């Protein structure tokens, strides 16, 4: 397996590796060539910002080319990622002034590149560790829900520039998760409000159709279902079923599946299919994943299944999918597991009980 978050982007891999040796020119050329392809730009900058922690090349570039907006945006993003890590591990050298400087640097980058969503995404990277300056009800499309005021403001700036930004939506999801984790695990059901609104109003075949599955996984890890009444559990189970249907049919089977961060969504979809008793359906998803197993959701799966680590959880789930696919009848038209109007899930036989036992999870929906 290849854990490199650059995935199949060989240009990104080469530029990042050159920068690790001290040369920032390859990064400059890569981002200039990327231009305003926002999905590719935000993915590349996210990978580079995480790889730059502890390295000097972002500062060297911005010093050498202080008027280059790409240099300012990249340096601010790298500083935000580094600050997030320092706050998360409670580094004693971090104080309010240091955090304020990181925020100010991102805002300056936003002024230098006013059309670019990336500086606002770098601010959202900080939102989960900085906390929010108050919570309020927000109106988004036709839905209302609670959100942190600061993170919501940064999110709106990002999606004004790139409405379907995968990274902006996922950083906002992480900020919502961090805020709601401070309360009862039952409060995490609020994650579905944001994720459902995003998926419902995304473009046809958008990867944002997968966003609610991340929320369902958070609820599973927190054992939120155990704190709900029977009616709420039924609702959550049906919601998971509908969201899985939408992600599988509209995104995975759709004509526009490719995007730079696609392996993250493929891994989440594969996990949800196995976790809900559909290992045979997960088989083509694992094929699409190839060597790119991602830390999430398999680290969470390991917690739930008792696997030693995320790699073992991934391997067990992939083996379950391969076993189920091998047992499936050949040359027989298989019934559509996701009807166009899915009914509430009802208990039935798992398509491969042995494979299901290989990867036990605390499911929210009844197996097929």
- Residue 141 confidence (pLDDT): 73
- Residue 345 confidence (pLDDT): 39
Q: What is the pLDDT of residues 173-192, one digit of tens each?
A: 999 888 888 777 777 888 89
Percent of the chain at pLDDT exceeding 70: 89
pLDDT at 238 over 70: yes
Percent of the chain at pLDDT exceeding 90: 64
- Residue 365 confidence (pLDDT): 25
Output 362 or 2, whichever has higher pLDDT: 2
pLDDT at 157 over 80: yes
The domain locations on the chain are: 1-147, 183-368
- Residue 333 confidence (pLDDT): 44
How far apart CA 144 and CA 137 sit, in angstroms, is 6
Q: What is the pLDDT of residues 198-211, one digit of tens each?
A: 998 888 899 999 99
pLDDT at 225 over 70: yes
For 66-80, 214-228, 301-315, which range has the lowest pLDDT when averaged over its residues? 214-228
For 15-19, 51-55, 171-175, 360-364, which range has the lowest pLDDT when averaged over its residues? 360-364
Confidence of residue 368 (pLDDT cuts 50, 70, 90): very low
Mean pLDDT, the chain, rounded, equals 86
């Amino acid at each position: 397996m290849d854990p490199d978050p650059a995935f199949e982007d060989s240009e990104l891999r080469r530029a990042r590796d050159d920068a690790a040796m001290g040369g920032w020119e390859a990064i400059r050329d890569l981002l200039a060539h990327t231009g305003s392809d926002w999905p590719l730009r935000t993915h590349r900058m996210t990978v580079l910002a995480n790889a730059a922690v502890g390295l000097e090349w972002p500062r060297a570039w911005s010093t050498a080319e202080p008027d280059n907006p790409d240099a300012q945006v990249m340096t601010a993003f790298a500083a935000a990622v580094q600050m997030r890590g320092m706050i998360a591990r409670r580094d004693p050298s971090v104080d309010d002034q240091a955090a304020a400087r990181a925020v100010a640097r991102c805002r300056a980058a936003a002024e230098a590149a006013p059309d670019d969503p990336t500086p606002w995404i770098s601010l959202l990277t900080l939102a989960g560790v900085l906390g929010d300056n108050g919570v309020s009800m927000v109106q988004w499309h036709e839905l209302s829900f609670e959100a942190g005021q600061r993170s919501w403001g940064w999110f709106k700036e990002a999606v004004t520039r790139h409405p379907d930004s995968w990274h902006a939506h996922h950083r906002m999801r992480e900020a919502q998760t961090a805020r709601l984790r401070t309360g009862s695990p039952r409060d995490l059901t609020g994650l579905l409000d944001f994720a459902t609104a995003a998926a419902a109003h995304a473009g046809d075949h958008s990867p944002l159709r997968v966003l609610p599955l991340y929320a369902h996984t958070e609820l599973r890890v927190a054992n939120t279902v155990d704190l709900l009444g029977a009616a709420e559990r039924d609702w959550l189970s049906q919601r998971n079923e509908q969201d899985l249907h939408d992600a599988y049919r509209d995104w995975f089977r759709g004509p526009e599946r490719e995007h730079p961060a696609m392996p993250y969504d493929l891994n989440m979809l594969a996990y949800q299919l196995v976790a809900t008793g559909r290992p045979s359906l997960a088989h083509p998803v694992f094929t699409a994943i190839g060597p790119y197993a991602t830390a999430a959701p398999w680290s969470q799966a390991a917690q739930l299944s008792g696997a030693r680590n995320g790699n073992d959880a991934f391997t067990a789930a992939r083996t379950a999918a391969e076993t189920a696919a091998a047992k499936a009848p050949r040359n027989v038209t298989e019934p559509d597991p996701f009807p166009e109007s899915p009914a509430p899930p009802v208990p039935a036989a798992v398509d491969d009980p042995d494979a299901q036992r290989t990867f036990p999870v605390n499911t929210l929906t009844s197996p097929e």
